[in-house]
């Protein structure tokens, strides 16, 4: 809502500067987002006194004047105005000023006399049409004062962000009410400049009277009209045009401007029809007809349907109720008789209609939030009066009034004990009553309580809690203490999933990955949920895997010539199943990671680092899974499907490690991806690790090079070795794999390091030799594996 500082002053005496007013409104009821000083095109104009005025020697209509503009030096100004009088103050545009028309003033000679700048007329300043002479200023100001500072021509626009529950603040009157309450001033209706005599048009042919019928009483709960005849449509008076400009509306004509004046001034949208253009002498408020068409004021032809309320004449729709008027009955310069409509329309109906039609207007905005039905009659009279003042004419008969009078508001009990409980502060009942009364609430004190009747324009106040908010607001939020008081800590434990997410993040960061937080939308997906109203087709589905979106992020980096990409994400994926109870898709928190490019940053000692490979991915997968499921058995099982490994946690399939097939440029190295469901296994409890004594006895290492058939996995060899080695085997590591010279086809040499240790004594060579021999014989008998002869 755009509010004019000057317009607000029509409603309440304000001795606050615009910026102070901004702070007051923001602290009290609605945030002022911006303060725009208007008429900055007059910023260079100053007040100046003409000290001398002499006739120009070479002209009979020019004056040569000496002007005091407060600088201490007198300026020579040639002036053609008949009304220049020495000793009088005038607006003066010094050399260098750019006037509203775009004229830049320079020092020049006029018929031989030097002229520095210009004394200005009202028209030259864009302040009206009077060009008869320069504008004599009857103000108490020193020469040199800024014209904008001393004359009420400037204005300041406050851009107010009105909250959805406060439609009463969508008007100057409403904002002024809050200002009056805060400053202890009186709220009053504007005093308009005395009516300029407007000559009524002579009408030759009689105009029919209008019959009003309201069929759609649900769409238009209250509908009032009045007719003003013999108006003279023309330009608005200056004051009205200035008001329009100040709120950012265009001045159209006196009659149309009055309707907008009512909207911005009082929050009540009103519409004026040209009576002569209404067919059949009728106004019918009815539902639209399916397929019915209307050309609206913006020149667009719109198709209506039977959910919309329209204002029709005997033949066709003439306006879409509460949204926009029709071209057919528009008030134009030829209009002589008008029908003024002041109504309330069903907010939900208006909302549905403007959404369907895709047209939002100042009127629909207000009707959607609700207007004050109780004020309609009063405002109809006010509007009719204002039209007669600015456009002449006379009201015909009495206004029509259809619909129910609004029900009186019911009183609400406000307990002072409850106020203290919610707000944490004791506020005297009398203080609450005084504050509430200042914004139109009727209050009756009943012992410790107040019985409060909210005003009709505050339909948002329906119960005690809303009254408590009013009390807090009127006290001022700043008046409440901000001292921490004792509290009881919350009784809930942390969500376990959040702990897992945090551990996983730490593991990924330790590996050198950067966290990504992309959006979970994907272009398509088998078994993926589709968003019913997606923003775009390429983000219409919800992902079923984190790698789906991470892969796109890798491609994004490839597209920017970045080949070293290491990303992870902890985020939600959506399963295809639907929860039976809520009908919502199942969700799970997953972690995804992608690695590609150099294994470490290039260094001059190693200009071409090796690339990440599947073994890095396997290691990363294991450390992520161990972080997510502390104490659980994590395994990478070779995958039968497209992926490389299945990640299993306590025997449950929880994720996978894959080589990703991306839209990669030729220079990119392979991309590996890991995905792990953080909700695959429920951890029974947080197992903490246990201490084991640090060994004091020496270890013995034995290396075995074994010839292993290609179809026998290292894993199964390890199982056999462990079994045969017994308790003394402390660790078992494959440290080399070799195929080629000296190794028969179909075999490979796997070199194993076995470390033996006894907790209490030094092992003897013989013991270990015996143990190794046993291992070798079991390997041979179980797997047919022999030692490689050197």
Partner 1 sequence: MAGRPGNDSTRSLVALSHFIKPHHSVTLDEFVNAVSALDIHASEIISAASTSAGLDAARNSLLGRKNGELSRLMKSLPSLSPEERRDAGAAVNRSKTAIEELLATRQLNLAVTTELRSQVDLTMPARQQWRGSRHPVTVVIEEIESIFRELGFTIALGPEAETEWYNFTSLNFPEDHPAMDMHDTLYLSDDVLLRTHTSPVQIRTMQSTTPPIRILAPGNVYRRDFFDASHAPMFSQIEGLAVDEGISFVDLKATLTHFANRFFGSTKTRFRPSFFPFTEPSAEMDVECQICRGSGCSSCKNSGWIEILGSGMVHPNVLEAAGLDSERYTGWAFGMGPGRIAMLRYKIPDIRLLYDSDMRFLTQLAQ
Q: Is 448 in the site for partner 1 (CB under 8 A)?
A: no
**Any idea which residue has 């050399």 for tokens?**
95
Q: What are the distances in angstroms from CA 378 to CA 135, 268, 375, 482, 636?
A: 39, 11, 5, 45, 80
Give Cα 644 to chain centroid, integer Å. Answer: 45
Q: For residues 472 and 704, which CB has a smaller minimum distance to partner 1 in the complex?
A: 472
Q: Is 511 in the site for partner 1 (CB under 8 A)?
A: yes
Concatenated DSSP letters of 483-515: -----PPPSPPPPHHHHHHHHHHHHHHHHTPEE
Structure tokens at 659: 């080589």
CB of 480 to partner 1, least distance (A): 6
Q: In sequence order, what are the beta bridge partners of 67? A: 50, 75
| Interface with partner 1 (CB under 8 A), residue from 465, 633, 637, 697 | 465
Q: Is 130 in the site for partner 1 (CB under 8 A)?
A: no
Question: CB under 8 A: which stretch of 63-71, 149-157, 332-340, 469-477 binds partner 1?
Answer: 469-477
- CB contact at 8 A, 169 and 162: yes
**Contacts to partner 1 from residues 645-664, by CB under 8 A:** none
**Contacts to partner 1 from residues 365-384, by CB under 8 A:** 368-369
CB of 414 to partner 1, least distance (A): 13
Minimal CA–CA distance to 254: which of 332, 340, 173, 339? 332
Q: What are the distances in angstroms from CA 3 to CA 162, 578, 717?
A: 11, 51, 83
Q: Is 166 in the site for partner 1 (CB under 8 A)?
A: yes
Query: What is the rounded CA–CA span in Å between residue 657 and residue 637?
Result: 10
Query: What is the rounded CA–CA span in Å between residue 368 and residue 309?
Result: 13
Q: For residues 228 and 471, which CB has a smaller minimum distance to partner 1 in the complex?
A: 471
| Interface with partner 1 (CB under 8 A), residue from 323, 472, 617, 785 | 472
H-run or E-run covering 351: helix 347-357
Helix axes 765-783, 714-725, angle to 10 degrees: 140
Helix axes 254-266, 172-183, angle to 10 degrees: 40
**Contacts to partner 1 from residues 10-29, by CB under 8 A:** 22, 26-29
CB of 365 to partner 1, least distance (A): 8
Q: Is 525 in the site for partner 1 (CB under 8 A)?
A: no
Q: Is 31 in the site for partner 1 (CB under 8 A)?
A: yes
Q: For residues 166 and 229, which CB has a smaller minimum distance to partner 1 in the complex?
A: 166
Please write down the HEC assignment for all residues of 631-655.
Answer: CCCEEEEECCCCCCEEEEECCEEEE
Q: For residues 26 and 787, which CB has a smaller minimum distance to partner 1 in the complex?
A: 26
Q: For residues 425 and 774, which CB has a smaller minimum distance to partner 1 in the complex?
A: 425
With contacts defined by CB under 8 A, how many residues of the chain interact with partner 1? 96
Instruction: Specify the long-range contacts of residues 734-739, CB closer than 8 Å, at least 24 apart.
Output: 736/705
Total residues belonging to the chain: 790
| Interface with partner 1 (CB under 8 A), residue from 510, 652, 687, 697 | 510
Binding mask 419-438 toward partner 1 (x if CB under 8 A, else -) reads --xxxxx-------------
Q: Is 498 in the site for partner 1 (CB under 8 A)?
A: yes
Backbone angles phi, psi at 82, to 5 degrees: -70, -20
Q: Is 290 in the site for partner 1 (CB under 8 A)?
A: no
CB of 242 to partner 1, least distance (A): 25
Q: Is 490 in the site for partner 1 (CB under 8 A)?
A: yes
- DSSP conformational letter for 465: H
Binding mask 245-284 toward partner 1 (x if CB under 8 A, else -) reads ----------------------------------------
**Contacts to partner 1 from residues 576-615, by CB under 8 A:** 582-585, 587, 600-601, 603-605
Q: For residues 498 and 738, which CB has a smaller minimum distance to partner 1 in the complex?
A: 498
- CB contact at 8 A, 783 and 719: no
Q: For residues 424 and 619, which CB has a smaller minimum distance to partner 1 in the complex?
A: 424
3-state DSSP helix/strand/coil % of the chain, to nearest 5 = 30, 30, 45
Binding mask 535-554 toward partner 1 (x if CB under 8 A, else -) reads x---x--x----------x-
| Interface with partner 1 (CB under 8 A), residue from 200, 213, 497, 753 | 497
Q: Is 523 in the site for partner 1 (CB under 8 A)?
A: no
| Interface with partner 1 (CB under 8 A), residue from 482, 666, 682, 741 | 482
CB of 583 to partner 1, least distance (A): 6
Structure tokens at 372: 């004050």
CB of 538 to partner 1, least distance (A): 11
Question: Which residues 6+ apart lie within 8 Å of 228 measured at CB?
Answer: 337, 338, 340, 384, 387, 388, 391, 393, 394, 395, 396
**Contacts to partner 1 from residues 173-232, by CB under 8 A:** none
Q: For residues 33 and 661, which CB has a smaller minimum distance to partner 1 in the complex?
A: 33
352-369 b/e (C-beta count within 10 Å ≥ 16 → b): ebbeebebebbbbbbbbb
CB of 544 to partner 1, least distance (A): 13
Q: For residues 378 and 475, which CB has a smaller minimum distance to partner 1 in the complex?
A: 475
Binding mask 325-364 toward partner 1 (x if CB under 8 A, else -) reads -----------------------x--xx------------
H-run or E-run covering 592: strand 585-596
Structure tokens at 147: 């014209």
Q: For residues 196 and 482, which CB has a smaller minimum distance to partner 1 in the complex?
A: 482
Question: CB under 8 A: which stretch of 116-124, 326-334, 481-489, 632-640 binds partner 1?
Answer: 481-489
Strand duo 634-638 + 31-37: pairing: unpaired
- DSSP conformational letter for 163: -
CB of 336 to partner 1, least distance (A): 39
Q: Is 520 in the site for partner 1 (CB under 8 A)?
A: yes
Q: For residues 368 and 675, which CB has a smaller minimum distance to partner 1 in the complex?
A: 368
Question: CB under 8 A: which stretch of 6-14, 449-457, 484-492, 755-763 binds partner 1?
Answer: 484-492
């Amino acid at each position: 809502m755009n509010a004019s500082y000057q317009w607000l002053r029509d409603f309440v005496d304000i001795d606050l500067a615009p910026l102070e007013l901004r702070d007051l409104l923001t602290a009290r009821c609605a945030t002022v987002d911006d303060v725009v000083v208007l008429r900055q095109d007059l910023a260079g104009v100053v007040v100046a006194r003409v000290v001398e005025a002499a006739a120009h020697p070479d002209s009979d209509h020019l004056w040569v004047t000496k002007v005091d503009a407060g600088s201490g030096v007198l300026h020579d100004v040639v002036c053609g105005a008949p009304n220049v009088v020495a000793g009088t103050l005038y607006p003066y545009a010094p050399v260098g000023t750019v006037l509203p028309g775009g004229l830049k003033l320079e020092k020049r000679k006029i018929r031989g006399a030097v002229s520095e700048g210009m004394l200005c007329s009202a028209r030259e300043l864009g302040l009206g049409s009077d060009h008869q002479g320069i504008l004599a200023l009857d103000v108490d100001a020193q020469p040199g004062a800024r014209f904008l500072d001393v004359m009420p021509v400037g204005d300041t626009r406050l851009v107010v962000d009105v909250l959805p529950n406060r439609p009463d603040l969508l008007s100057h009157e409403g904002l002024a009410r809050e200002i009056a309450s805060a400053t202890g001033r009186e709220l009053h209706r504007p005093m308009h400049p005395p009516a300029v005599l407007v000559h009524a048009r002579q009408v030759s042919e009689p105009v029919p009277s209008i019959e009003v019928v309201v069929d759609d009483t649900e769409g238009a709960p209250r509908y009032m009209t009045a007719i003003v005849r013999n108006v003279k449509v023309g330009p608005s008076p200056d004051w009205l045009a200035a008001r329009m400009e100040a709120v950012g509306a265009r001045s159209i004509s006196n009659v149309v401007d009055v309707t907008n004046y009512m909207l911005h001034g009082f929050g009540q949208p009103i519409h004026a029809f040209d009576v002569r253009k209404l067919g059949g002498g009728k106004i019918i408020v009815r539902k639209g007809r399916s397929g019915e068409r209307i050309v609206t004021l913006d020149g667009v032809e719109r198709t209506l349907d039977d959910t919309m309320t329209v204002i029709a004449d005997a033949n066709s729709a003439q306006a879409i109720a509460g949204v926009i008027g029709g071209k057919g009955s528009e008030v134009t310069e030829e209009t002589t008789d008008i029908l003024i409509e002041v109504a309330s329309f069903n907010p939900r109906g208006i909302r549905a209609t403007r959404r369907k039609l895709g047209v939002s207007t100042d009127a629909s905005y207000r009707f959607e939030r609700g207007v004050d039905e109780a004020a309609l009659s009063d405002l109809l009279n006010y509007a009719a009066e204002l039209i007669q003042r600015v456009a002449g004419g006379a009201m015909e008969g009495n206004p029509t009034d259809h619909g129910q009078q609004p029900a009186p508001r019911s009183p609400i009990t406000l307990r002072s004990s409850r106020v203290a409980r919610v707000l944490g502060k004791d506020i005297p009942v009398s203080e609450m009553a005084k504050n509430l009364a200042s914004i139109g609430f009727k209050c009756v004190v009943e012992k410790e309580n107040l019985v409060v009747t909210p005003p009709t324009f505050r339909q948002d106040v329906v119960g005690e809690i809303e009254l408590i908010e009013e009390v807090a607001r009127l006290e001022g939020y700043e008046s409440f203490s901000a001292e921490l008081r004792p509290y009881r800590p919350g009784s809930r434990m942390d969500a376990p999933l959040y702990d897992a997410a945090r551990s996983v993040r730490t593991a990924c960061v330790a590996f050198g990955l950067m966290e990504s937080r992309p959006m979970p939308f994907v272009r398509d997906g088998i078994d993926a949920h589709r968003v019913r109203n997606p923003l775009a087709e390429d983000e219409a589905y919800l992902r079923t895997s984190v790698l789906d979106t991470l892969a796109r992020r890798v491609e994004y980096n490839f597209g920017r010539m970045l080949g070293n990409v290491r990303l992870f994400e902890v985020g939600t994926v959506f399963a295809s199943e639907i929860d039976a109870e809520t009908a919502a898709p199942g969700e799970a928190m997953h972690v995804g990671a992608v690695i590609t490019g150099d294994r470490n940053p290039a260094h001059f000692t190693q200009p071409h680092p090796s690339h990440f490979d599947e073994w890095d991915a396997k290691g990363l997968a294991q450390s992520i899974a161990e972080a997510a499921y502390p104490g659980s058995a994590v395994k990478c099982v070779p995958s039968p499907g497209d992926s490389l490994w299945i990640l299993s946690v306590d025997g449950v399939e929880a994720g996978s490690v894959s080589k990703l097939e991306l839209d990669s440029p030729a220079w990119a190295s392979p991309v590996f991806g890991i995905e792990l469901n953080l909700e695959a296994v429920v951890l029974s409890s947080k197992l903490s690790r246990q201490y084991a004594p640090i060994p004091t006895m020496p270890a013995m290492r034995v290396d075995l090079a074994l010839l292993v058939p290609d179809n026998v996995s290292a894993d199964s060899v390890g199982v056999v070795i462990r079994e045969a080695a017994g308790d003394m085997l402390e660790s078992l590591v494959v440290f080399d794999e070799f195929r080629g010279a000296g190794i028969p086809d179909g075999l490979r040499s796997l070199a194993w390091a076995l470390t033996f240790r006894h907790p209490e004594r030094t092992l003897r060579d013989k013991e270990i030799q015996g143990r190794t021999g046993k291992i070798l014989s079991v390997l041979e008998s179980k797997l047919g594996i022999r030692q490689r002869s050197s």
